[in-house]
Structure 1
Amino acid sequence: MKPRFLLLACAGITAAIAVAALAQAGGPTAKAEGVTFLGEPLTPEQIGLGRELYAANCASCHGSKLEGQPDWQRRLPNGRMPAPPHNETGHTWHHADRQLFTITQRGVSAVVPGYESDMPAFEGVLSDAEIAAVLAYIKSTWPERQREFQAKVSARDGGRS
């Protein structure tokens, strides 16, 4: 068996396990009430779609419970940072909606020029509405304090990327 095939097979198995674990364990609790994206209220359907898309596209790196990779604040041997958590213990909620959308769509370097990251850009993989749904799901799991803080950051941002 070639090493590349073995690596791809392991990645596929890991993704399948993450999706199954998220579905079985229920993952973080989503709360649709009061969750907005770019100032617009979000529906339970958008959050449900986001949960499915997160499980299929994000959980293999960011964790089925949005917990991120171990030692996410310490550089990997390749100089890049591990995937951060998207729950209240991470820093995702410090960023405005537009910035989170741009990072997800075009990659971290679209916001921080020259920054090298293992996170792929999802432009062409997920539609704008699907990216918004994933972010809606993530936001729906945060405690009220983090959602309020992030809403204020987004309001100050005024829609800039």
Structure 2
Amino acid sequence: MKALLLIPTLLILSTGASAQSDLLHAAPHKDMPNTTERWYSAQDIQKGQQVFKQNCAACHGDKAQGIVKDWRAELPNGKYPAPPLNGSAHAWHHRLKALDGTIQRGGIPIGGTMPAFKDKLTRHERLQAIAYFQSFWSDNIYQAWLKRGGLKP
């Protein structure tokens, strides 16, 4: 009898582990429910959407999904396309301070093509843009970002 109960239990547990693993590696989507408390508000997301669409969407996509199929592939000019910021690339590896700094200084000083926005966007607007693209991050991606020190100075 115990053996009969063990098999369904193992199947259920292995299915749950697989589903969690899939979520961690799946591209996040705005419709995914976020249960982890975030550093930003719904108003920040709303304002950030406007900032993002006016300043970032041309290169990063209107929903931060990127605009090319393979953002890791070198372009003919030797540069790389802007990565997705929706949690499917490497943005979640960087602390909030670094994300803000990249927007402020741009990528040109390190060989990229992203312009600096220090004279165009206030710090508050930059943080709102970050809130917008982080709103696409799944809870698993956001929690991994926090564990990496995302909110640390």
When normalised by structure 1's length, the TM-score is 0.69
User: Counterpart in 2 of 1:106?
Assistant: 105
Q: Give runs of aligned pairs for residues 7-156 of structure 1, distance below 5 A.
A: 28-29=30-31, 34-36=37-39, 42-70=40-68, 71-108=70-107, 115-154=110-149
Structure 1 counterpart SS, 2:75: coil
Gaps of 5+ in 2: 1-28
Asked which structure has the greater RCO (Cα within 8 Å, sep 6+), the reply is 2
How far off its partner does 1:33 sit? 6.3
Provide the alpha-carbon RMSD of the alignment. 2.2
Q: Hey, what's the Cα distance between the residues in 1 that align with 2:64 and 2:78?
A: 23
Q: Hey, what's the Cα distance between the residues in 2 that align with 1:45 and 1:104?
A: 20
Which piece of structure 1 moves more, 88-97 or 119-128?
Answer: 88-97
Structure 2 counterpart SS, 1:154: coil
Contact 2:87 2:134 (C-alpha < 8 Å) held by counterparts: no
Identity of aligned residues (%): 33
When normalised by structure 2's length, the TM-score is 0.72
Q: Hey, what's the Cα distance between the residues in 1 that align with 2:120 and 2:140?
A: 32
Which whole-Å deviations, capped at 9, do the CAs of 1:113-140 have from their partners, x for residues lacking one? Answer: x521111111011000000000011111
Count of aligned pairs: 123
Structure 2 counterpart SS, 1:124: coil
Q: Hey, what's the Cα distance between the residues in 1 that align with 2:38 and 2:92?
A: 13
How far off its partner does 1:65 sit? 2.2
